Amino acid sequence: MATATKDIPTATGQGSEAASPEERLWAALDAEGYDSAVYGSELLRSMYEGELAIAQRMMLAHDVLVEVGVGTGKFAGPLSGNGYPVIGVDISPTLLEVAKRRYPELLLIEGDGRRLSEILDPLPAANGRRLVACVLNSIGVVDAVIREALVREMIRSSAGGSFLLAVFSAEHFHRGIAEFYGRSPQLCGPVRDGDADHIRHELRTTSSYFSHWFTVAEIDDLLRAAGVRSYSVERCGVGLFFSGPIPKGA
């Protein structure tokens, strides 16, 4: 799927999961374009601040933080550097290179979140009670089948720990189109009439950029299917945040 970079290990011993068009897009995405679109967006800023605050609060009760879809490290990076292991996994070598340069204390691995247990289990730094996070709608940029596998594997890999799942809320999808995607051609290319489906809350552009925005019921289904029995829901800006304990047998 992706070529190994000099300083970032590629997960070995993995079965071969076929890369979807969306995953291929992320694997080659321009990191500066991504950051300027996302972190220059007023609409997304409060969500980012909300997910950071929740993670800081939750970290206290855990031994290690793992982020699936770490990208350029803007979430995991500020949470690292205090002797608390923070591990980031991503399929995109271009985004990981930037994360490595910015946050040298992050432990970064190029790999597919659908293989999270295989990636984490051999790592001494991943031992102990895990807080596994997937934020800024990372599960919304892949199709429904991959999304289910990612959530299932997040939960399975971290039984006995906790999870944080931060997604874009379907009720704000129209604002996402007008105030974010429509102003971010460096991320998703031009948004044309018909690219946004306001019933399914999904955007698909001609550059293969895809994003799904979620209802609480959709995330509830994903979490239940993965074996989570109770969780909290918080909201901040366009963000919906789900967090809670992962049962030992999940």
Residues that bind ligand SAM (CB under 6 A): 23, 26, 38, 68-72, 74-75, 89-92, 95, 112-114, 135-138, 141-142, 146
Dihedral angle sign, alpha carbons of residues 243, 110, 186, 75: positive
Residue 95 beta carbon to ligand SAM: minimum distance, rounded to whole angstroms: 5
Residue 96 beta carbon to ligand SAM: minimum distance, rounded to whole angstroms: 8
Residue 18 beta carbon to ligand SAM: minimum distance, rounded to whole angstroms: 11
Nearest-angstrom CA–CA distance, 197 and 17? 28
Q: Closest CB to ligand SAM among 67 and 195?
A: 67
Dihedral angle sign, alpha carbons of residues 1, 221, 155, 210: positive
Residue 207 beta carbon to ligand SAM: minimum distance, rounded to whole angstroms: 15
Q: Closest CB to ligand SAM among 18 and 193?
A: 18
Question: Under 8 Å CB-to-CB from 83, ≥6 apart: which residues?
Answer: none
Nearest-angstrom CA–CA distance, 203 and 33? 18
Q: Closest CB to ligand SAM among 142 and 196?
A: 142
Q: Of the candidates 148, 197, 188, which has an alpha carbon nearest to the alpha carbon of residue 25?
A: 188
Q: Closest CB to ligand SAM among 97 and 195?
A: 97
Residue 210 has phi, psi (to 5 degrees) of: -135, 140
Residue 47 beta carbon to ligand SAM: minimum distance, rounded to whole angstroms: 10
Side chain identity at residue 196, one-letter code: A
Q: Closest CB to ligand SAM among 112 and 195?
A: 112
Residue 203 beta carbon to ligand SAM: minimum distance, rounded to whole angstroms: 12
Q: Closest CB to ligand SAM among 7 and 143?
A: 143
For residue 188, the surrounding DSSP H or E stretch is helix 185-188
Mutual orientation of helices 42-59 and 31-39 as an angle, nearest 10°?
90
Burial 117-143 (b: 16+ CB within 10 A, else e): ebbbeeeeebeeebbbbbbbbbbbbbe
Tokens of 156: 């399975």
Residue 243 beta carbon to ligand SAM: minimum distance, rounded to whole angstroms: 16
Beta-strand (E) ranges in 91-185? 107-110, 130-134, 162-168
Q: Closest CB to ligand SAM among 39 and 190?
A: 39
